Structure 1
Amino acid sequence: MEQPEIQLSDAAAKRVGTIAAKQGKPAILRLSVEGGGCSGFQYKFGLAEDIDDDDTKAENDGVTLVVDAVSLDLVRGCVVDYVESLGGAAFRVENPNAAAGCGCGSSFAV
């Protein structure tokens, strides 16, 4: 079976669904990659109003994760998870393309 291009974990889907319901928005999480951060690139998350034609999407329990075509090259094969720990709670990207990361978990290099 071919590996999906992007995946949304159960925990992340549940959290996005909760946030979207509170804000009265569609349960669509957009992941994009921008230049900058400690290691060269950084992840950016936000709720999206709609899905663009060139977006790649993954669905889990009625929640959709979308990634634009440019960002997809840097996160192909990733899993977006939601992790709660003593240090706080955050969305985390498990990115097989990242050659290096940083302590904050939101920045990476390829």
Structure 2
Amino acid sequence: MTLPPKVTPRAFERLAEIGAAAQGKALRVAVEGGGCSGFQYDISLDDPAEGDLVLEGDGEKVVVDSVSLPFLANATIDFTEELIGARFVIDNPNATSSCGCGTSFSI
């Protein structure tokens, strides 16, 4: 069964900390061709656009465009703080392999 991506409470909390909604922005998660594994994630603050899937929590928004949506089905969008830094991460069950950087994957 194909489900839309999920966003963790920690990711919404981080968006609130950086004031994304106050700026009128949402976290855009997109998939683009490229990267060392064939596809790569593009994560940015952006304006929601018509046709985007909008995921909301704590007054914040995460948006995914219709082209990227099939690649992110059943994925989880999270925020993590590790020794290498703090960043939004995607746990994508559709990826058959991924790069060590965590932003590049193949299907």
- Normalising by structure 1, what TM-score? 0.87
Q: Do the aligned partners of 1:77 and 1:95 also contact (CA within 8 Å) in 2?
A: yes
Q: Do the aligned partners of 1:41 and 1:109 also contact (CA within 8 Å) in 2?
A: yes
2:35 is matched with which residue?
37
Q: CA deviation at 1:20?
A: 2.8
Structure 1 segments, 4+ long, off by >6 Å, are: none
1:19 is matched with which residue?
18
Q: CA deviation at 1:4?
A: 4.4
Unmatched segments (≥5 aa) in structure 1: none
Superposed CA RMSD in Å reads: 1.9
Structure 1 CA distance, aligned partners of 2:68 and 2:78?
Answer: 17
- Normalising by structure 2, what TM-score? 0.89
How many residue pairs are counted as aligned between the two chains?
Answer: 107
Code of the residue aligned with 2:88 in structure 1: it is: F
Q: CA deviation at 1:78?
A: 1.0
Q: CA deviation at 1:80?
A: 0.6
- CA separation of 1:25 and 1:64: change in aligned 2, threshold 3 A: same
SS in 1 for 2:13: helix
Structure 1 CA distance, aligned partners of 2:19 and 2:36?
Answer: 29
- CA separation of 1:3 and 1:73: change in aligned 2, threshold 3 A: closer
2:63 is matched with which residue?
66
2:9 is matched with which residue?
10
SS in 2 for 1:74: helix
1:96 equivalenced with 2:93 (yes/no): yes
Unmatched segments (≥5 aa) in structure 2: none
| 1:19-59 Cα deviation digits (max 9, x unpaired) | 235x951251111111111111110111122x222111211
- Identity rate of aligned residues, in percent? 41
Structure 1 CA distance, aligned partners of 2:95 and 2:80?
Answer: 19
